[in-house]
Amino acid sequence: MIQSYYAPIKQGPVTYIALDTLFKRHHSITAMGIGRIDNELPVLSEIGQQTLQAVKHFISKHAPSTAIIFWEIGDTDKIKVSKGLKAGLKAAMAYQRSAVFFVCKNSHVYDAVYEALNVDDRKPSIH
């Protein structure tokens, strides 16, 4: 089961959505943006780029040995989204410290990914 908690990243007056995601007893920083992966690099919307920069800044200050894995999700089908999330989170488990940035094809996929991450919006991250 995937369980996520808010771990917002504040930069100046803007707060970016990041999550502390627990999967198989492994914590990963997760975030997402709209775009695609081209030649293993994310091509993101402006807000997606800003979110990624906020995650990178947070990691550089608080967890510099953290690897960021980019994982593309292109479908809103619940089973495909779930399989995609689990595959991305399993890839992250190969690293002691990891972050997964889910690159979503469009806003509908973004919403499906957010829902599948099972975000507990009642309490902040425990980390």
CB contact at 8 A, 45 and 35: yes
Containing structural domain, residue 63: 2-124
3-state secondary structure of 110: helix
The mean pLDDT of the chain is 92
How many folded domains does the chain comprise? 1
pLDDT at 121: 76
Q: 97: Cβ–Cβ under 8 A, 6 or more apart, which residues?
A: 63, 65, 66, 67
pLDDT at 125: 57
Give the dihedral sign, CA 115/24/73/15.
positive
Closest listed residue to residue 10, CA positions, set 48, 55, 44: 55
pLDDT in tens, 46-93: 999 999 999 999 999 988 888 899 999 999 999 999 999 999 999 988
